[in-house]
Chains A and B, each alone.
Chain A
Amino acid sequence: MKTFNYHSAKDVKEASKLASSNSAFLAGGMTTIPSIKLGLATYKDIINIKNIKSLSGIKASSKTLKIGATTKHVEVANSKDVKKAIPSLAALAEGIGDPQVRNRGTIGGSIANNDPSADYPSACIALNAVIHTNSRKIEAEKFFKGMFETALKSGEIIEAIEFSIPEKSNYQKYPNPASRYAVVGVYVAKHKGEVNVAVTGAKSCVYNDKDLAKALSKNFSSSVIDNVKISSSGMNSDIHASAEYRANMIRVFAKKAVEAC
Chain B
Amino acid sequence: MASLVGSRVERKEDKKLLTGRGRYTADVNFVHQTFAYFVRSPHARAQIKKVDTSKALKSPGVVSILTGADIVNDKIGGLIAGWRIKSEDGSDMKVPPHPPLASDTVNYVGDHVAVVIAETLDEARNAAELVKVDYKILKAVVSTKDAMSSDQIYKDIPKNMCFDWLLGDRAKVKEAFDKADKIIKIDLVNNRLIPNAMEPRAANADYNPSTEEITLYTTSQNPHLARIIISAFNGVAPENKLRVIAPDVGGGFGSKIYPYAEEVVCSWAAKKIERPVKWVADRTESFLSDCHGRDHVTHAELAVKNDGTFLGFKNETIANLGAYASVFGTVTPTYLFGPCATGVYKMPAAYSNVKAVYTNTAPVDAYRGAGRPEATYTIETLVEKAARELGMDPAEIRMKNFPTQFPFQQTLVHSVDSGDYVGGLNKAMEIADYKGFEKRKRESASKGKLRGIGLCSYFEACGIAPSPVVMMLGCGIGLWESAEVRFNPTGNVTVFTGSHSHGQGHDTTFAQIAADQLGVPIENIEIAHGDTDKGPFGYGTYGSRSLTVGGTAIVKACDKIIAKGKRVAAKMLEASVDDIEFSNGEFVVAKSNKKKTIGEVAFACYLPGTYGEVKSPLPEGDEPGLKETSFFDPVNFSFPAGSHICEVEVDPDTGETKLVKYTAVDDFGTIINPLVVEGQVHGGLAQGIGQALYENCHYDESGQLITASYMDYTMPRADNFPEFNLGFTCTPATSNPLGTKGCGEAGAIAAPPAVMNAVMNAIGTEISMPATAEKVWKACNKNKKRNSEAA
Contact = CB atoms under 8 A, between A and B. Distances in A.
**Do A and B come into direct contact in the complex, CB within 8 Å?**
yes
Interface stretch (B580-588, B636-644, B709-717): B709-717
B694 A242 contact: no
A208 to B, nearest CB: 23
Contacts of B712: 178-179, 239-240
B522 interface: no
Given A239-B706, A248-B777, A249-B654, A178 B772 contact: no
A239 B707 contact: yes
A181 B712 CA distance: 10
A3 interface: yes
Interface centre among B696, B706, B714 (most CB of A within 10 A): B714
Interface in A220-247: 239-242, 245
User: What is the predominant secondary structure among interface residues of chain B facing chain A?
Assistant: loop
A1 B710 contact: no
Contacts of A179: 710-712
B773 interface: yes
A241 to B, nearest CB: 6
A103 to B, nearest CB: 18
B714 A178 contact: yes
A248 to B, nearest CB: 7
B774 interface: yes
A174 B653 CA distance: 12
A177 B774 contact: no
B125 interface: yes
A131 B34 CA distance: 49
Given A177-B772, A239-B698, A249-B654, A1 B125 contact: yes
A101 interface: no
B714 A3 contact: no
B654 A252 contact: yes
Interface size bracket, B side: 20 to 34
B122 interface: yes
A245 B710 contact: no
A179 B711 CA distance: 4
Contact of A245 (B696, B715, B774): B774
Nearest to B712: A178
A1 B778 CA distance: 43
Contacts of A2: 122, 126
B777 A245 contact: yes
Contacts of B773: 174, 177, 245
Given A239-B707, A241-B774, A174 B715 contact: no
A239 to B, nearest CB: 5
Given A3-B122, A239-B698, A252-B653, A178 B710 contact: yes
A242 B407 CA distance: 52
Nearest to A3: B122
Nearest to B700: A239
B779 to A, nearest CB: 12
Interface string A1-19: 1110000000000000000
A234 to B, nearest CB: 18
Nearest to A180: B717
A177 B654 contact: no
A176 B712 CA distance: 8
A198 to B, nearest CB: 19
Contacts of B711: 176, 178-179, 181
Contacts of A241: 774
B715 A178 contact: yes
Contacts of A178: 694, 707, 710-715
A241 B655 CA distance: 12
Interface in B124-155: 125-126
Interface in A173-200: 174, 176-179, 181
A252 B651 CA distance: 11
A242 B653 CA distance: 15
Contacts of A248: 653-654, 777
B728 to A, nearest CB: 32
Interface centre among A1, A178, A249 (most CB of B within 10 A): A178
Contacts of B715: 178
Contacts of B714: 177-178
B707 A174 contact: no
Contacts of A177: 694, 714, 772-773
Nearest to B775: A245
14 contacts: A1-B125, A38-B284, A174-B773, A177-B694, A177-B714, A178-B711, A179-B710, A179-B711, A239-B712, A240-B774, A241-B774, A245-B778, A249-B654, A252-B654
The 6 closest A-B pairs by CB, nearest first: A178-B714, A179-B711, A245-B774, A177-B714, A252-B653, A239-B698
Given A3-B122, A240-B774, 8 more contacts: A1-B122, A1-B125, A176-B711, A178-B713, A181-B711, A239-B698, A242-B774, A245-B774
